[in-house]
Structures are given as C-alpha cells and as structure tokens.
C-alpha cells in the first residue's frame, strides 16, 4: 500500500515536471543576413498630454527637482543609458492643434491655449521648440517633429522647417537668432500631420494624399539638412489609406509612411493595467501578436507600389492601452506598467526587428507618464518600469544585421485559445557578436530552447540578461521601485555551434554569443 502511494506520488510529480517544461528549436542562418535593424525602431514619443512633458520632462528652471535649463536630470540620465535614437514630438493628436510660433520667445510672453484633446487643460507653451531641441541635445537623440496639417497651414509648417534648419539670412533664421540660437539645428525626421483620418482632421485618404503633397513640397532641404518626410498613415490594417498614399505620392516627396496600432482589449472597456487574470493576460497577448499580420498586410501594398523599397514603414505609435489609474484625470492616460507590458514590448520589438526590411522606425507610446511608459514620475520621485528594462536589454540590436531564423514554437494554450510561447529575433553587431532576444510568454512553463547556428563553426558564451517577476502583474510602485528589474542570466550552455537556453516562464531573455 505504502509502495503504491510512493509510486503514485512519483508519477504525479513526473507528470507535473513534464507539464512544466517545453522545448523549441531555432535555426540561425548567420550567412544569410540581408537587412539591417534600424536603431530608429527603438524610438520614443513625447506628447503634450497629461504629465509626459510637464512634470515628466519639464519642471522649469526654478524647480527644486534637479534640472538642467528646466529639464529633469534624473529622467535624462535614465534615458541616456538606453541610447534612445529619436524622439517624436509634440504629438499625437496635439500636433494638429499646435502652433509652433506660440512656443518660442520669452516664456512669460508666450500665449496660452487649451489642450482640447487631453483633459481640456491650459497649455502655457513653456515647453516649445528651443526646449525640445535642448532636450534632444541633452539626450543625444534625433528630433522627430510632427507638423500641423489638421488646423495649420502649409506656410506655418514650411516656416518651422526654415526656422530650425536654415543657415543663411531669412526672416525665420533671423527670428531664431533673436531667440538665442545662432546656428541652425539638424532635423531630419518630419511628420506631416498625425492620424489625419481621425483627430488630425477627419480627412478621407484621397483628400489627405493631395494635401500631403502640398505640405511636403514646401518643406525644403536647407544646406546639408536632408529631410525625411513621413506621411500620416493608416491605423492597423486600413489598407485603403495605405494604397491611396502609395499610389499617389512618390518617394521624392514621401520617404516614410506611418502606421499606428495599439494593443487594446476593447476601446470601450480597456481593462486595468495591474488588476487582471490569466485569461485577460492571454487576450492582451493575442491582440499584441496581431500586429505582425497588420504590418505584413501594409508591407504587401508598399511592395506593390515601391518595389525598390525606398519608402519606410514607420510604426510611430504602438503599445498597450489600458484604463487610467483610479482617481487620475481620464484625459491624462496615466497607467501603471507590469511584467505583462514588458513581455508584450519585447514581442513587439522582436516583430519589428523581423520586419526590418521595411520597418524603419517605431515609437512606443509614450516615453513618460502616458500609456505604456518607460518612466513614471510622481513629483520628485521616478521609477523605471518593466518596459524600460526591455529597451535596456534590446539596445544590442541597434543598427545590427538581422539574422534570418526558422523556428517552431510550442504553443501556450488557455481553454480553446493558443499563441506561440516563444518569440525571438536575432542579430549580429558590427563586432560580430550575435544577440538573441527571446520571450517566453507562457506564465506556467519553462521552455528549453536549442539554437543551431548555421554559417559559423563555433561560438562562445558571452553575457546574458533576464527580466521576469513572481507574477504577470508585478510592477514597480514608487515605494518599492526595484521590484521588477533585469539581472544577469547564465542559464545557457554552448557546444560548438549549438546553444541550449532554459527560458523561465513569463520572461524576456537576452543572450550574447562571441
């Protein structure tokens, strides 16, 4: 009887161990590299919305919060560590009601406006063009400015380009000099409106395409500053919008088309950022994985009209959108950020890397205090979110060669639904180091991954990083800011050109191979 009991316990535990593990094989075709993962896929977005700019970035020169010319030092230091390649500003929907001339000159003389999209608050324009360019210089990042098409004019946008980038003598360069900036700046990336099918003017695709050409024509290249003009593109899989633009505008006027996609359960009922169960986690994953199909649909159209691949797909707004935190202004879009956000962030970035033949930029929405943020602030306090650590781990891919891969993933199943448990992208940097970024979305099972590296005889073990936590909804509260942080990871072995990695449940892993 006792022996039977022991046998039963043994069988149950073996089943349990078996059920907790799963395996996947990935083939890396190192000798077939063709595309480069643009560093701009790791771009950021900062809008005049809630506490993104005011409080998150700008505290003003007289603030007790340590700052340099009004810009928070703690935020700049944290962002410098992840080498952000570009920063989109001033919106979003705000861009199509922003008049840049209101944001230059002495701050106490700048006119105020109502931020009608975001909480109806008064915008005092204290953070304007010069402050934004100072922020970019402090961060060492490239500015990406979005012009006003919805309520602005061709003349207004054309003058903004002239103000920022013209080196000779002109009314706009004179004004810039009077405002304290002698030398022009370099500003390559310009967005021509934002979501012009919606908050940016409720236009038809045809009307926007014609208007795009007017705006883009008068945004000029001055001196050595070559513009990269980006059209306001479709949402999700709106292929009509993309087709209309691609058919009507050529690559001499349009170097990029944007696409937006938010991971949202239901626009009328988005769900809590922190209080969710496994079923809801699963729904978020399904919505997140769907972006790959949307991207591929848009790429098919771009390939048809631009077979030489001159126009980039710029996913300049993406991320998780949940309900605002209880008690906060609904117009400020402030949400907490958990391990779930880190996992979907890593899945998205792997998808963008794997589509980098056409995807040339992506900007998570948004950098600070709005939607899926990298940083949250509360007065003088600052926390780095789980999403921040994904950017820290993935910076190895910036401008690296994408290594094509073939793999089969075990499935993560819940009820009658399933998604692949493993999500991955791989690159080779200019020093020949290979970096593998893996996500195991399954919250219950460790996965053993075997990588077979074709095209090299032998690799050796480099460093590794891991991001996980005890629960899928673990996060970094202000009172305990280091609950979810990345750590060193060495649970992998190398044998010739074979690499075995044990990827913990609900985790993101980065492996370096020499």
* Interface ranges with ligand AHR (CB under 6 A): 47, 91-93, 194-195, 317, 365-366, 371
- Which one-letter DSSP state was computed for residue 215? H
Q: Which is nearer to ligand AHR, 42 or 334 (CB)?
A: 334
Count of beta carbons in the 10 Å neighbourhood of residue 266: 9
**Conformation bin of residue 202: beta by default, left when phi > 0, alpha when psi is -120 to 50:** left
Q: Which is nearer to ligand AHR, 222 or 318 (CB)?
A: 318
Which of 206, 317, 450, 479 is the catalytic position? Answer: 317
Of 8, 126, 42, 38, the C-alpha closest to 367 is 42
* DSSP secondary structure, 346-414, as one string: HHHHHHHHHTTTTEEEEEES-SBSSSS-SEEEETTEEEE-HHHHHHHHHGGGTTPEEPPEEEE-PEEEE
CA 363, CA 41: separation in Å to the nearest integer? Answer: 7
CB of 453 to ligand AHR, least distance (A): 39
CB of 51 to ligand AHR, least distance (A): 13
Q: Which is nearer to ligand AHR, 92 or 201 (CB)?
A: 92
Q: Do the Cβ atoms of 105 and 180 come closer than 8 Å?
A: no
Q: Which is nearer to ligand AHR, 366 or 385 (CB)?
A: 366
Q: Which is nearer to ligand AHR, 265 or 506 (CB)?
A: 265
Q: Which is nearer to ligand AHR, 110 or 260 (CB)?
A: 260
Phi, psi angle pair for 157, to nearest 5°? -70, -40
Phi, psi angle pair for 76, to nearest 5°? -60, -45
Dihedral sign, CA of 199, 202, 204, 206? negative
Which of 195, 448, 450, 479 is the catalytic position? Answer: 195
408 is catalytic: no
Q: Which is nearer to ligand AHR, 261 or 492 (CB)?
A: 261
CB of 117 to ligand AHR, least distance (A): 7
169 is catalytic: no
Phi, psi angle pair for 78, to nearest 5°? -65, -40
For helices 291-305 and 339-354, the axis angle rounded to 10 degrees is 20
CB of 21 to ligand AHR, least distance (A): 40
CB of 97 to ligand AHR, least distance (A): 11
CB of 212 to ligand AHR, least distance (A): 17
CA 46, CA 318: separation in Å to the nearest integer? Answer: 13
CA 325, CA 70: separation in Å to the nearest integer? Answer: 27
Q: Which is nearer to ligand AHR, 273 or 365 (CB)?
A: 365
- Residue bearing tokens 């014609």: 210
Q: How many helices (H) and strands (E) does the chain have?
A: 11, 27
CA 362, CA 295: separation in Å to the nearest integer? Answer: 12
Q: Which residue is nearest to ligand AHR (CB)?
A: 92
CB of 364 to ligand AHR, least distance (A): 10
Q: Do the Cβ atoms of 434 and 428 come closer than 8 Å?
A: yes
**Conformation bin of residue 423: beta by default, left when phi > 0, alpha when psi is -120 to 50:** beta
CB of 123 to ligand AHR, least distance (A): 14
Of 448, 446, 450, 336, the C-alpha closest to 386 is 336
Catalytic residue numbers read 195, 317
């Amino acid at each position: 009887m006792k022996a039977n009991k022991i046998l039963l316990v043994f069988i149950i535990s073996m089943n349990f161990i078996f059920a907790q593990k799963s395996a996947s094989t990935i083939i890396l075709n190192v000798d077939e590299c063709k595309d480069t993962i643009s560093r701009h896929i790791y771009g950021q977005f900062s809008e005049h919305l809630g506490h993104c700019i005011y409080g998150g970035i700008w505290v003003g020169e007289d603030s007790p919060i340590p700052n340099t010319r009004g810009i928070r030092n703690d935020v700049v230091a944290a962002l410098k560590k992840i080498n952000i390649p570009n920063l989109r500003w001033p919106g979003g929907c705000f861009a199509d009601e922003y008049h840049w001339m209101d944001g230059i000159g002495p701050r106490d003389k700048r006119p105020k406006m109502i931020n009608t999209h975001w909480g109806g608050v008064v915008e005092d324009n204290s953070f304007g063009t010069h402050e934004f360019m100072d922020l970019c210089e402090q961060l060492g990042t490239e500015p990406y400015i979005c012009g006003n098409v919805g309520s602005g004019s061709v003349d207004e946008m054309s003058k903004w380009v002239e103000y920022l980038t013209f080196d000779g003598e002109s009314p706009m360069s004179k004004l810039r000099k009077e405002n304290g900036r002698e030398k022009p700046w370099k500003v390559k990336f310009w967005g021509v409106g934002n979501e012009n099918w919606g908050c940016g003017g409720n236009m038809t695709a045809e009307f926007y395409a014609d208007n795009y050409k007017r705006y883009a024509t008068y945004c000029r290249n001055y001196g050595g500053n070559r513009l990269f003009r980006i059209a306001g593109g479709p949402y999700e899989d709106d292929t009509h919008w993309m087709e209309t633009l691609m058919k009507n505008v050529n690559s001499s006027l349009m170097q990029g088309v944007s696409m937006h996609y938010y991971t949202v359960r239901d626009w009328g009922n988005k769900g809590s950022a922190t209080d969710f169960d496994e079923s809801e986690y699963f729904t978020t994953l399904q919505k997140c994985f769907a972006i790959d199909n949307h991207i591929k649909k848009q790429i098919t159209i771009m390939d048809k009209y631009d077979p030489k691949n001159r126009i980039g797909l710029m996913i300049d707004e993406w991320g998780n959108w949940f309900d605002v935190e209880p008690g906060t202004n609904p117009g400020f879009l402030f949400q907490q950020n958990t391990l779930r956000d880190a996992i979907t962030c890593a899945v998205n970035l792997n998808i963008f890397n794997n589509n980098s033949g056409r995807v040339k930029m992506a900007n998570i929405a948004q950098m600070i205090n709005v939607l899926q943020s990298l940083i949250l602030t509360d007065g003088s306090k600052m926390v780095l979110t789980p999403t921040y650590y994904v950017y820290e781990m993935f910076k190895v891919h910036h401008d690296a060669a994408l290594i094509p891969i073939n793999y089969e993933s075990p499935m993560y199943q819940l009820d009658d639904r399933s998604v692949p448990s493993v999500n991955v992208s791989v690159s080779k940097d200019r020093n020949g180091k290979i970096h593998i970024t893996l996500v195991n979305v399954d919250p219950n099972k460790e996965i053993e991954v075997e990588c077979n590296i074709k095209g090299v005889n032998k690799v050796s073990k480099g460093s590794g990083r891991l991001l996980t936590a005890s629960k899928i909804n673990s996060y970094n509260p202000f009172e305990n800011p280091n609950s979810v942080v990345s750590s060193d990871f060495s649970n992998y072995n190398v044998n010739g050109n074979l690499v075995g990695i044990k990827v913990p449940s609900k985790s993101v892993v980065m492996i370096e191979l020499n």
